[in-house]
Chain A
Amino acid sequence: MWEFLIPLFAATVQSGTPILYATLGEMLTEKGGVLNLGVEGMMALAALAAFWTSLVTGSPWLGFVAGGCAGMLLASLHAFVCISCLGNQVVSGLALTILGGGLTHFLGVPYVGLAAPGFDPFDFPLLSQIPGVGEIFFKHDMLVYLSFIIPFLFWFFFRRTSLGLHVAATGEMPAAAAAVGLKPIRLRYFAVIAGGFLVGLGGAYLSLAYTHLWTNGLSGGRGWIAVALVIFAFWRPGRAVAGAYLFGGVMAFQLRLQAAGTHLPSSLLLMLPYLLTILVLILSAWRGRRIDAPAALGTNIEPEG
């Protein structure tokens, strides 16, 4: 039993990591009051940017940062359209997904099948010796270890820094933030672009650690799962971790099922995260629980006068 479960859990952590990065990125964006449905496209382009940079420079770390920057680039476009031009956030986000996906497909053609230097797993000193836990959590690559601390940083940012409070206030009630002299426009730009960076890191993980090869369709719907997970997690980083690993687990599990030769179609299993999200939404409505969405999420800040 354990021989089967421990590798499955280890694979869960690995496949949950890109989702975790992306979910936290989208969560940061939404905390600032902007909905960004372009995560899927941002992850795809970031994966390519990371792969290409690593291939050219030979440094996976540079590639990792380049992935984040690619996410930021697309996020800036979204920020400009929504925050400065008061464009519809849903439309802009969907356009970003299609743009990112198409661009990646087009630019990635010469690299299909090539390998670039990436991150390899190594045993984390001491911690990897813990039976079970060590196997599951501490025999991965550097980016997985990095992803362990980001939720804490996220929590710290919103609870213990004034900038975090300002961003949250902007997502809840931009008018109140403006009334006390804050700059909601700038704060929203910050939230969208910083969130885009995190989403980009998730994309970079796919091409630098999850595989070291370039193939088409690497993001494989993970961006959409991230968007759904933000709601599933009620905008809380702790639950985002649980959600990311839950869905990472579903993905790892269905791979194993396929390998074992079951006839359960993989597309049915891949559907599970979304089904789960809908269930969570229904359940939370049933129990009369306030879904803790930022109050001003999805609305633009109209100029005064």
Chain B
Amino acid sequence: MTDLQYVRPVRTRPLAKDARPVVSLKGLTKRFGKVVANDAITLDVYPGRIKALLGENGAGKSTMMSMLAGRYKPDEGTIEVDGRPVRFNSSKDAIQAGIGMVYQHFMLVDSMTVAENVLLGQEGSFFVSPREMEHRVGELAERYGLNIKPGERICDLSMGERQLVEILKLLYRESRILIFDEPTAVLTPEETRNLFEALWRMTEQGKSIIFISHKLEEVIALADEIAILRRGRIEGELDPESIESKADLASRMVGKEVLLEVDRQPAEIGDTVLEVRNLTGLGLTEVDLDVRRGEVVALVGVAGNGQKALVEAVTGLTKPPLDTVFIMGQPWRKFFAESTWNRSMCYIPEDRLGLATLPNQNLVDNLLLTTRKGFAKGLWLDKKKAAKHTVRLIEKFDIRPGRIHALAWQLSGGNLQKAVLARELYREPKLIVAEQPTQGLDVSATEEVWKRLLEARSMAGVLLVTGDLNEALQLADRIAVIYRGRILDVLDNTDKDTFRKIGPLMAGIVD
């Protein structure tokens, strides 16, 4: 991970006393079933300022912005633009009110030029001239200091340049409030710096910017104000100037109050099931980590600090360098060459509906996804037996709806996760890699998942990757903190000071 080299042009920009918010969110609440994605959010955005919205994955950032951009309707609360309450029925309404959003996935026509994309639907006349269009867009780009050639085709542009095209689209439609959803995820550090410079120039022209991110450094480097969103609530607003609050920022982002407690009795410690030895590469540096049967080792950190790379290397999705990863005592290559369907490793991925299950298949087929070798009779698959076991698992894990013919996508997040857990535990694993296992789940489902993971310690070691500090503190015996691809420390959870130490470590501060 490269360091962000961006120096903000002005150190501080105090908010003028008579400044009026251009957009106000007042008590905005949005629920999806039982899950409260946004809980009474109140937020003011001022003209000419950059408001950063900091929060972990699943904190409710995107939900909140989708309401502002007119994609979702709030269940409660109002949005005010220029002091007047508005109701958006579609993203078109929001654009008309001057609110535009740059999504993570670009909505651009690859084979068309920059100018054609920017002006699409806004040409102004039936007959158009490419030269005149390029001229118009070129002028607009120049006004905001965006470095882009309007005659180039999108397919020849880098990700950063494509993002500029999306920005130009909003600017052309005279959006006054521009929302950026994790805009740097696809950018190189250089492009990130260029983007930040462009954002600052836009604020100088009076535009308001809402910048959604979970990257601390970026937020501190860029924002005028930082709002922290956690579990659907605004946890507070901070001034980015106070550098010592970086650690505080990290721990406030991931939270500290105990929402849910489980009774965790220590289990008997057995053999080492996972050993990572001096792993460098894949964005990781000198990572050492081991997991033994009977313990939960949590890997915590702000998202995007190398967790994904480590999980992929351990679970076999990417190939780690030679002799760095050992599973159940065997080198990585040997383990995956000879791995069996049961009494082995299982992976509970973050992406439940994409990676863990097939959305359009029923529960039996989804059970078979990782266990089919257990139901094979020579060339044939014993589906009847699989169905029987599915029924049993549905009962045991209380999965609803309790029909084996229910399709994966029809299940709620909590039930789907229970189904994945049921399947993976059926394999009687010796190593469990669980990635954000309770993200987006309600309290009862979370409790259920936690209990199952703790129970599983009798047969397995658990590597728990989580952004939820409370989850780590509740479940883990040891907590490893990862920052920029390095494991800064592995803390013992029985130590009272552990909790206090995690925040600074997550922000990269080592005493």
A residues at B contact (CB < 8 Å): 159-163, 165-166, 168-169, 172-173, 175-177, 179-182, 290, 292, 294-295
Q: Are B110 and A162 in contact (CB under 8 A)?
A: no
B127 interfacial by beta-carbon distance below 8 Å:
yes
Contact of B108 among A159, A168, A173, A294 (CB under 8 A): A173
- A177-B120, A180-B122 known; A161-B109 Cβ under 8 A: no
Q: Which residue of A lies closest to B95 (CB)?
A: A181
- A166-B121, A176-B108, A180-B121 known; A161-B127 Cβ under 8 A: yes
Q: Are B107 and A165 in contact (CB under 8 A)?
A: no
Query: A159 to B130, alpha carbons, bound, how many Å?
Result: 8
Q: Are B116 and A165 in contact (CB under 8 A)?
A: yes
Query: A166 to B116, alpha carbons, bound, how many Å?
Result: 10
Q: Are B125 and A162 in contact (CB under 8 A)?
A: yes
B271 interfacial by beta-carbon distance below 8 Å:
no
Query: A288 to B246, alpha carbons, bound, how many Å?
Result: 50
B97 interfacial by beta-carbon distance below 8 Å:
no
Chain A residues with CB under 8 Å of B108's CB are 173, 176
Query: A177 to B123, alpha carbons, bound, how many Å?
Result: 13
Chain A residues with CB under 8 Å of B155's CB are 290
Interface contacts beyond A162-B128, A180-B107: sample of 15 additional A-B pairs, CB < 8 Å, sorted by A = A159-B130, A160-B130, A161-B127, A162-B123, A163-B126, A165-B112, A169-B120, A172-B109, A172-B111, A173-B107, A173-B109, A177-B120, A179-B107, A180-B120, A180-B122
| 9 pairs of A and B residues whose beta carbons are closest in the complex | A162-B123, A180-B121, A176-B107, A179-B107, A172-B109, A169-B109, A173-B109, A181-B121, A180-B120
- A160-B127, A162-B126, A165-B128 known; A295-B110 Cβ under 8 A: yes
Bitwise interface map of B from 126 to 137 toward A, beta carbon under 8 Å scored 1, else 0: 111110000000
Chain B residues with CB under 8 Å of A179's CB are 91, 107
Q: Are A172 and B112 in contact (CB under 8 A)?
A: yes
Query: A176 to B121, alpha carbons, bound, how many Å?
Result: 10
Query: A160 to B126, alpha carbons, bound, how many Å?
Result: 8
B residues at A contact (CB < 8 Å): 91-92, 107-112, 116-117, 120-123, 125-130, 155, 169
Q: Are B126 and A180 in contact (CB under 8 A)?
A: no
Closest chain-B Cβ to A305's Cβ sits at a distance in Å of 11
Q: Are B128 and A160 in contact (CB under 8 A)?
A: yes
Closest chain-B Cβ to A153's Cβ sits at a distance in Å of 13
Q: Which residue of A lies closest to B133 (CB)?
A: A165
- A160-B127, A161-B126, A180-B169 known; A166-B111 Cβ under 8 A: no
Q: Are B107 and A160 in contact (CB under 8 A)?
A: no
Q: Are B120 and A173 in contact (CB under 8 A)?
A: no
10 residue pairs bridging A and B, Cβ less than 8 Å apart: A162-B123, A162-B128, A165-B128, A166-B121, A168-B109, A169-B120, A176-B120, A179-B91, A180-B122, A181-B92
Chain B residues with CB under 8 Å of A181's CB are 92, 121
Chain B residues with CB under 8 Å of A180's CB are 107, 120-122, 169
The listed residue with most A CB atoms (<10 A of its CB), out of B109, B111, B122, B126, is B109
Q: Are A165 and B123 in contact (CB under 8 A)?
A: yes
Q: Which residue of B lies closest to A159 (CB)?
A: B130
Chain B residues with CB under 8 Å of A295's CB are 110-111
- A175-B107, A179-B107, A182-B120 known; A161-B128 Cβ under 8 A: yes
Closest chain-B Cβ to A191's Cβ sits at a distance in Å of 15
Closest chain-B Cβ to A292's Cβ sits at a distance in Å of 7
Chain A residues with CB under 8 Å of B127's CB are 160-162
Q: Which residue of A lies closest to B122 (CB)?
A: A180
Q: Are B121 and A182 in contact (CB under 8 A)?
A: yes
- A172-B109, A180-B121, A182-B121 known; A160-B129 Cβ under 8 A: yes
Query: A179 to B125, alpha carbons, bound, how many Å?
Result: 20
Q: Are B110 and A165 in contact (CB under 8 A)?
A: no
Query: A119 to B228, alpha carbons, bound, how many Å?
Result: 77
Query: A33 to B139, alpha carbons, bound, how many Å?
Result: 32
Closest chain-B Cβ to A180's Cβ sits at a distance in Å of 4
Closest chain-A Cβ to B201's Cβ sits at a distance in Å of 24
Chain A residues with CB under 8 Å of B129's CB are 160
Q: Which residue of B lies closest to A181 (CB)?
A: B121
Chain A residues with CB under 8 Å of B109's CB are 168-169, 172-173, 176-177
Chain A residues with CB under 8 Å of B117's CB are 176
Q: Which residue of B lies closest to A290 (CB)?
A: B155
Q: Are A168 and B128 in contact (CB under 8 A)?
A: no
Q: Are A173 and B110 in contact (CB under 8 A)?
A: yes
Query: A175 to B91, alpha carbons, bound, how many Å?
Result: 13
Q: Which residue of A lies closest to B91 (CB)?
A: A179
Q: Which residue of B lies closest to A179 (CB)?
A: B107
Query: A177 to B107, alpha carbons, bound, how many Å?
Result: 8
Query: A168 to B121, alpha carbons, bound, how many Å?
Result: 12
Query: A163 to B120, alpha carbons, bound, how many Å?
Result: 10
Chain A residues with CB under 8 Å of B126's CB are 161-163
Query: A292 to B153, alpha carbons, bound, how many Å?
Result: 13
Chain B residues with CB under 8 Å of A182's CB are 120-121
Query: A159 to B131, alpha carbons, bound, how many Å?
Result: 11
Chain A residues with CB under 8 Å of B130's CB are 159-160
Closest chain-B Cβ to A19's Cβ sits at a distance in Å of 26
The listed residue with most B CB atoms (<10 A of its CB), out of A160, A172, A181, is A181
Q: Are B112 and A169 in contact (CB under 8 A)?
A: yes
Query: A182 to B109, alpha carbons, bound, how many Å?
Result: 13
Closest chain-A Cβ to B430's Cβ sits at a distance in Å of 43
Chain B residues with CB under 8 Å of A168's CB are 109, 111-112
Query: A179 to B118, alpha carbons, bound, how many Å?
Result: 12
Query: A179 to B94, alpha carbons, bound, how many Å?
Result: 12
Query: A292 to B109, alpha carbons, bound, how many Å?
Result: 13
Chain B residues with CB under 8 Å of A166's CB are 120-121
Query: A292 to B92, alpha carbons, bound, how many Å?
Result: 31
Chain B residues with CB under 8 Å of A175's CB are 107
Chain B residues with CB under 8 Å of A169's CB are 109, 112, 120
